[in-house]
Amino acid sequence: MNNPLLELESLPAFGRIEARHAAPALRQVLAENRARLAELTAQAAPTFDSLVVPVEELSYRLSRVWSPVGHLNAVANSAEMRAAYNECLPLLTEYTSELGQNAALQTAYLHVLQHEGDSLDPQQKKVLENALRDFRLAGVDLPAGRKQRFREIMQRLAQLATKFSENVLDAARAYTRIVTDEAELAGLPANAVDRAAADAREAGQSGWLLKLDQPTYMTVMTSASSGRLRRDIYEAWVTRASEVGPSAGQFDNNPLIAEILPLRHEAARLLGFESFADYALATRMAKSSRQVLEFLEDLASRCRPAAIREFADLESFAGRKLDAWDVAYYTEKLQESRFRVSQEELRPYFPLPKVLDGLFALTQRLYGIRVRERPGAAVWHPSVRYYDLLDADGSPVAGFYLDPYSRNEKRSGAWMDECVIGKSLPTGHALPVAQLVCNFTAPVGAEPALLTHDEVTTLFHEFGHGLHHMLTRVAYPSIAGINGVSWDAVELPSQFMENFVWRTEVLPLISAHVDSGAPLPPDVLGRLLGTRTFNAALATLRQIELATFDFELHAEFDPVAGAAAARVAQILDGVRRRVAVAPTAPFNRMPASFAHIFAGGYAAGYYSYKWAEVLAADAFEAFEEAGVFDSATAGRFRDSILARGGSLDAMDAFVMFRGRRPDVRPLLRQTGIAA
């Protein structure tokens, strides 16, 4: 079979990749990698060039084969692709565990460090140090029986994470809400009503059909006048993949959570850690569970008094006690009342083509990088576009795909993923390529997609991740781009980019009325800027609630304390009593769809968003001091943060840029909480 997944010298052949290609390609590359590793570890006196460079090449090749499979499973999820992915996952997990526990390879890496350490450059030393750390964290030093048990746990956790994610997607897919009385759509913007009418026609239904995708959920919660409609959509959203709600028990993730938590705890204990949280911190900026919890407690104590005042104002405005499904609606209404601006009313000023033009113009002003669309690149959906990044002399430095719109076969949320990891090895060179994925409402007819300002912020966030991946100057794939970066610092470039959407210097670049082309009027611009700190303490407290729940869940797990499901509810209730201000519905089953920590990379790491937000606010303050477009400051940020990847400790990289350690005060000033 001529397998397009094995064509590694160009961009992935998305137009030709099918589910049936996945397993054969993966089996082939894994077999070839194993054979090559046996040859490499048989060397009597390995060197960096004879051992480490070839291993980096093997990892790069595996990434090239697997990346399109994982990506298509997320953005083009069909029964065939899901089955292929699930067939491949145990093969990949087994190989990864086997590689991490390869004692011969560990010994060879140690030999290189001991015999060549003084002559290696900092990047090469970092590759070796990270690898030796990761060998230990993979259980390479465990006795045979415990080593095998660790591998079994990792295999099972990978399967459970995939199933968790599938259940969330399937629960959302299974729900639709038919509206036959147009009055129930009062308050919804015209584009959302048009979309619902089109979806109903496509489904052969009369009236309007609301799906449970993220844009629909957010639009209904913030705009629908009907409390009944808000409650129905809210209940469907917060009970996804749980034992209650519209699809009660059908896609229930609670049994998976009850299996995931003990397995994570057991894996950590096998390696000598007290908890999974301690295990997770072994590769992070934060050095102890106490440090993380004190960080969260400190932020909560600073925010809670302001959040209490904000929520009291909200209920006073509403004139009654609020239910959970009322909060977003009245928040939007109070914001409109106070600032006379709403997210939906802003949509005409943020057509996606204009936002992209402005984003690309900003990138050029900051870093001297031009962004140019490349027509004809193979894509997985007609709405996807491919772009090249060109340096000042016109030479390509990277590329990215943009998949902007929500679809049934696509998981919710927004993310950046690696398509090609950059490398500059004696064995070959490759430019980094990113995949940027959002879930905006698709346009109807010939009109462009219109974004809320919140969605513009999401796009800038993911592009920040993309720049971190694409502007790397690191030669070795294992520490290039986002690889090897401390997980609690990986959100720094993305949250840093969000700051630009609030600047008066930048907003004219990214906004123009879809019909007239008129810029955002000065008075609207001023009111929009005023919303930045609106209810910021409530929003911050919500993130602290999620982060504290996640961290305590993994730091305090006790396998003999009773059923894991009961423990999850107990911890969440305790955190909410201490931290939360806004109400929670009794049927809320948030953990069952909390894919970040049960199916993503954020287990015992959700605190990273707030941790990195402190870094990002502090970093952006340097631009506020020097000028938002200051090329010297941007050059230092690129050189210190974006270009370094995982080749430099995250704290050292920050200090290199800022000249000191991070300070929480810029974030408190930025959000208005300090006041």
pLDDT digits (tens, 9 = 90+) for 295-337: 999 999 999 999 999 999 999 999 999 999 999 999 999 999 9
Amino acid letter, 151: R
Choosing from 57, 184, 455, 462, the catalytic residue is 462
CA-CA distance, 379 to 400, in Å (whole number)?
A: 11
Cα 611 from chain centroid (whole Å): 15
Residues 118-160: tens digit of each pLDDT: 999 999 999 999 999 999 999 999 999 999 999 999 999 999 9
Give the single-character DSSP code of 643.
T
pLDDT score of 674: 77
User: In the numeric block, which tokens belong to residue 400?
Assistant: 């990215």
pLDDT score of 558: 84
Helix (H) or strand (E) holding 23: helix 22-41
Residues 563-576: tens digit of each pLDDT: 677 789 999 999 99
Check pLDDT > 90 for residue 446. Answer: no
pLDDT score of 560: 74
pLDDT score of 445: 85
462 counts as catalytic? yes
CA-CA distance, 523 to 598, in Å (whole number)?
A: 44
Amino acid letter, 554: H
Residues 193-210: tens digit of each pLDDT: 999 999 999 999 999 999
pTM greater than the 0.75 cutoff: yes
- β-partners of residue 417 are 435
In sequence order, what are the residues at sequence separation of 6 or more whose Cβ sits closer than 8 angstroms to the Cβ of residue 39? none
Q: Which CATH architecture has domain 4-100+102-137?
A: Up-down Bundle (1.20)
Report H helices in 177-288: 190-202, 214-223, 227-238, 254-270, 276-280
pLDDT confidence band for 561 (50 / 70 / 90): low
Residues 419-428: tens digit of each pLDDT: 999 999 998 9
Helix (H) or strand (E) holding 431: none
pLDDT score of 344: 86
Q: How many CA atoms lie within 13 A of 292 on its CB side?
A: 28
CA-to-CA separations, 300 to 214, 305, 311, 665, in angstroms, rounded: 27, 9, 15, 14
Check pLDDT > 70 for residue 609. Answer: yes
pLDDT score of 444: 83
Average pLDDT, integer, range 51-74: 97
E-assigned strand segments in 374-517 = 385-390, 396-405, 415-420, 423-425, 428-430, 433-440
pLDDT score of 81: 96
CA-CA distance, 597 to 315, in Å (whole number)?
A: 32
Residues 368-396: tens digit of each pLDDT: 999 999 999 999 999 999 999 999 899 99
Check pLDDT > 90 for residue 628. Answer: yes
Check pLDDT > 70 for residue 1. Answer: no
CA-to-CA separations, 294 to 299, 602, 612, 618, 668, in angstroms, rounded: 9, 19, 15, 20, 17
Give yes or no for a contact between 151 and 98, defined as CB atoms under 8 angstroms apart. yes
Percent of the chain whose predicted confidence (pLDDT) is above 70:
99
Mean pLDDT of all residues in the chain? 95
pLDDT score of 563: 67
User: In the numeric block, which tokens belong to residue 216?
Assistant: 């629909």
pLDDT confidence band for 604 (50 / 70 / 90): very high
Residues 64-119: tens digit of each pLDDT: 999 999 999 999 999 999 999 999 999 999 999 999 999 999 999 999 999 999 99
In sequence order, what are the residues at sequence separation of 6 or more whose Cβ sits closer than 8 angstroms to the Cβ of residue 197? 207, 208
Residues 634-674: tens digit of each pLDDT: 999 999 999 999 999 999 999 999 999 999 999 989 988 87
Torsion angle (degrees, nearest 10) of CA 328, 330, 333, 338: -110
Cα 467 from chain centroid (whole Å): 14
Helix (H) or strand (E) holding 371: strand 370-373
